[in-house]
Each structure stands twice: as C-alpha cells, then as structure tokens.
Chain A
C-alpha cells in the first residue's frame, strides 16, 4: 500500500495535499461562526427594516402580533439569570476545586470525578423537572414566606439555582484540571521559603492558574447563557424586567424555544425570533472577546 502510494504521488505533492486539507478544515471552523452570524442577520432583516434597532433594544413592550417588538426584558432576563447562576456556582466551584486538588484524600477526589461525570450526563430536561418538583415549591412555600414575601416559585432565583447546579460539573472539572496542572516544584519552592500551605495556594497555585481559572469560569457563564429547556420550565416566562430575584423573568433562549416552530408562519414573528437569536449570538461574541482580551493582558504581564 505504501509502495503504491509512493509510486503514484510524489511525497512533495502528498505533503502539499495534506497541508491543503488541514488548512481547509481550519478555515471551515473559523468560518462557521461567521456563517451562523450572517444567516441570523439575513433572517432578521425583515424586522430590522421595519423597526429601529434602538427602539427594539431599549423597549420592553412585547406584543409581536400588534407590531411591538421590545427585547429589553428578555435581554435583562438573560443577563440576570446568568449572573445569578454565576454568583451561586463560581465561589462554590472554586473552593471545592481547591479542596479536592490540595487537601482531600485521593478516594474522595476520585469519587468526585464520578459525581461530575454523572452530573454532566443528566439531560437538562431532568434538571428542569427537578426544579419544578423541588426548587419551585421550596422557594414558594418556605424561603419566600420566611422573608415575608410572596412568590409563585417560578422566578429568577429558581432559574439561577437550577442553572448553577447545571454549570457545576463543567466549571469544577476544568478548575480541578487547571489546579492540578500547576507544577509541584513551584509549591515546593514556596513551602521551603517558609510560606504556609494556604499562603502557597493563594500566592502560587491560584496566581499560576489564573488564566485557566478565568477560562473555566467563563465556560460556566457561556453554558448558563445559552441553556434553554431547564430554565424555561422554572423561570416563569414573564416578559417584564425583573425587579427582584422572586420575580418571573424571560431569558432569550426560552423565548426562542417557546415560540419557534409554532410562530414560523407569522412573517415578522419569525424574524423577531431570529433577531433574538442574533442578540444572543452577539452577547456571547462580546463576552468571549472581552475574556480573551483580558486573558491576553494577563499573559503579557
């Protein structure tokens, strides 16, 4: 076989061809976001031509069949639910990762990897059902009354809690890998200079792993931002800017999932859902760019 190949294609050419293939593969991946973005823009154009962009982004008046397209409440819903899940999950994940990589016995770390795999494998609709059965009644019957408030339980906080739990396996797994990759020699050097174990973790391990930690946390945020079905089952889907964590909210992915399919035969509605997807796309693009710039700065220093 090899002899045959040599006979037909000179190795110089074989090199060039395989080089070309690799380039095409990479080019394809680079173009993919561009193609998706362009498709969304083209599909959103009918709406963009009719309604000014500024009005759509700043208004929260949503009644497409009457021609009112205000996306502000949905954008805020997405932002709040993502932030909430980040605040709930990031500190827990970071502290657990430190414990599991630096302090815990080996069997516990091993068990935790198993738990992470299980958590990552559970389908999101199961998280949603669990949220409806456990988190929603818990907030409505116990937490809110204890604070002197009333809520249906279908609210921002339910969405944040469910999302936080869903983001844990991704964040924790990556954080553990990052912390484990810090060279042991660095730690030894620090300890031999008289630093305590905690000081070593704080000044050596966390500092050395900073870029990885930021990348892990931003992965968790990206995951939270785009998650759909579990959130829409517990978040209340009220198109109003939420004023407290016990108010219902309506994130962008939920808007698309709830109406896509059924509203495709209504022309501007179809376009509005595509525009919602475009907003989500741009938010993720901006977020990732900012993280990248930030990481680049850290590396430079």
Chain B
C-alpha cells in the first residue's frame, strides 16, 4: 500500500513537473513546415536566431513542399519551406512568397560507367538530356550520346516521392516531375545509391547530396554529368565548374549554371505577415541569416534579390 501511494505521488509529481515545464516558460512559438530541401538550412537558421532572440521558440518539421503549403493555408504552420514553383491553382490563393536562398539540381551518372572520362570531357547537351530524361525511350545508347561505338543503353532513375528536386529538373526541359520517365527511387540518398550502383544509370540530386558539404568533394559512387551549354560537344573552361562544392556553388551564384535546374528556395506565408515575430525572423534570414547559407551548402541570394524581398516585408 505504501509503495502504491509513493508511486502515485511520484507520477503526480512527474505530471506536475511536465505541465510546469510546458506552460512555465512564457515563450512565443513559431511553426515552420515544408520542403526537405530547405530543412537543414531552416534548422540552422532557427538555432542561430534563437541565440539572438531567446524569447521565440521554433518547431521545424519537414514533410514536403506541398505539405508545408497546406499547413500554412490551414493555419497549422506560420511559415512554409518551399522548393518548387507554385502551380496555377496554388497561385490563386493569397500566398506571400519570399526567396531566401538558392540551390540547384545536378544530373548524375555512375562512377562505374566505362565511359566516365569521356562523359566528363564531352558532357551532354540540353537536347540530349531532354531526350534521355523525358522521352521515355529505353534504347538510347551511351555510344549515340558520346559518338562512340558503345552499345549499352542509358538507364534513367528518378524520384518516386513527390519532390521539388524532380520538379525543378523537369522544369529545365519545360516539364513536371511526372514527365520524367524512369525507375522511381524513394528519397535523395536512395536515388544517389541506385545511380551509383548501375554502371549505365543516370539520375539527379540536390547539390547537398552530390557533394559532401564538410569536405566539398563529390560523394562516392556518383559523378556529375557536365552540361554542354553551347553544344560544341566538349566541356569548355567556362562550362567546367563541377570539381567541388565551392566551384558549383559559385557557378550557380553567378548564373553560369542554368536556372532551372538552379532554383530559388522560398519561405511562404498565408497573406502578408503581420506577426512581428515572424516579420523579425524573415528580416533576419534575409540579412544576418545569409551568412549561414553557404556553410550549409546552399547559395546566398544576390543583394538585388535581398532588397526586393525586404521591400515586400515593409
């Protein structure tokens, strides 16, 4: 009996302590939800912002761009992280879009490809890439792409889950994710793994998955297909910037890498933000927060774009 009452006391005490720790702090709360592509940066930003603004607490969760948008429209989240273009139906809603950083989607191939050296030297033109990824033909040979006698056919891998990366890569050719025809693999890491294993495989990944951000080197297994933008069937010095994370981030930043597949990443709010906490956070992200962008593996916005975004907040 005594043990029982002690136990009850203990549990009641725990419960009370839990309640106190939840309600005790007079903190304000901001909820952020949405794209996986922005999630690491979103976490970084909220951590840094909390250091200068201890009064504001954040809940950051990743569930996909569309989920973030739905949450914001339903009032379940204050800010959505968004990594693709809005569809026409989505544009009609009262949505405020703030560009906060840039990244890019890069076409990848397997390191095991016997023609790897030639692919790095010649690259593929936009028309060839479009044919490979969007046509749905499964008889395009590496030989035909690289003007050799190779007979192995290209095998296309794409994301099976709805993803901003796939949508952005398709947007390069004027399409949507559903237009990319290939074997669907779940998630960014899964796609990199599948392409790496298949010597004839091609796919695409976010910059942060192609390069290891801490070392700046390409991840094992996969390599980047250089894009031959002027179509002279060789990668000129001006088109050669895939060596490490720094060089590709620089190329995205100054526009040598085309956009799309380079893309803006957005924070989205329902209507013009009125909550001073949210406005304060968004302003900080666009000013002081930009210095954390590059270390997280993304490209900071240009001054002109930042000015434009800040004006929206006035």
A65, B160: Cα distance in complex, Å: 16
A16, B254: Cα distance in complex, Å: 79
Given A232-B186, A261-B64: A65 in contact with B155 (beta carbons within 8 A): no
Residue of B nearest to A255 (CB): B160
| Cβ-based interface call for B131 (8 A) | no
Which residues in A have their C-beta under 8 angstroms from that of B193?
Answer: 132
A154, B197: Cα distance in complex, Å: 12
| A137–B197 CB distance below 8 A | yes
Which residues in A have their C-beta under 8 angstroms from that of B155?
Answer: 152
Given A154-B185, A236-B183: A262 in contact with B162 (beta carbons within 8 A): yes
Whole-angstrom distance from the CB of B137 to the nearest CB of chain A?
13
| Chain B interface residue count, Cβ-Cβ cutoff 8 angstroms | 32
| Cβ-based interface call for B150 (8 A) | no
| Cβ-based interface call for B243 (8 A) | no
| Cβ-based interface call for A264 (8 A) | yes
B160-197 interface code vs A (CB 8 A; 1 in, 0 out):
11110000000000001011011111100010011001
Which residues in A have their C-beta under 8 angstroms from that of B89?
Answer: 265-267
Residue of A nearest to B93 (CB): A265
| Chain A interface residue count, Cβ-Cβ cutoff 8 angstroms | 28
Given A232-B160, A265-B90: A65 in contact with B70 (beta carbons within 8 A): no
A150-181 interface code vs B (CB 8 A; 1 in, 0 out):
00101000000000000000000000000000
| B90–A261 CB distance below 8 A | no
| B178–A65 CB distance below 8 A | yes
Interface residues of B in 214-231 (CB under 8 A from A): none
Within the complex, which residue of B87, B157, B201 is in contact with A266, where a contact is CB–CB below 8 Å? B87
Whole-angstrom distance from the CB of B259 to the nearest CB of chain A?
21
Which residues in B have their C-beta under 8 angstroms from that of A236?
Answer: 183-184
A234, B190: Cα distance in complex, Å: 11
| Cβ-based interface call for A216 (8 A) | no
| B66–A261 CB distance below 8 A | yes
Which residues in B have their C-beta under 8 angstroms from that of A55?
Answer: none
Whole-angstrom distance from the CB of A267 to the nearest CB of chain B?
6
Which residues in B have their C-beta under 8 angstroms from that of A238?
Answer: 181-184
A76, B179: Cα distance in complex, Å: 21
Residue of B nearest to A141 (CB): B197
| Cβ-based interface call for B18 (8 A) | no
Whole-angstrom distance from the CB of A232 to the nearest CB of chain B?
6
Whole-angstrom distance from the CB of A279 to the nearest CB of chain B?
19
A63, B198: Cα distance in complex, Å: 27
| Cβ-based interface call for A233 (8 A) | yes
| Cβ-based interface call for B114 (8 A) | no
Within the complex, which residue of B70, B157, B198 is in contact with A265, where a contact is CB–CB below 8 Å? B70
Residue of B nearest to A150 (CB): B153
Whole-angstrom distance from the CB of B159 to the nearest CB of chain A?
9
Within the complex, which residue of B67, B73, B87, B160 is in contact with A261, where a contact is CB–CB below 8 Å? B67
| B160–A258 CB distance below 8 A | yes
Which residues in B have their C-beta under 8 angstroms from that of A258?
Answer: 160-162, 184, 186
What residues make up the interface of A, taking CB atoms closer than 8 Å to B?
62-66, 132, 137, 140, 152, 154, 232-233, 236-238, 248, 250, 254, 257-259, 261-267
A-B contact pairs, 8 of them (CB 8 A): A63-B176, A65-B87, A152-B155, A258-B160, A259-B161, A261-B63, A263-B66, A265-B90
Q: A261-B66, A265-B89 are in contact. List 11 more A-B contacts (CB 8 A).
A: A65-B87, A152-B155, A152-B201, A237-B160, A238-B182, A257-B161, A258-B184, A261-B162, A262-B65, A262-B162, A263-B66
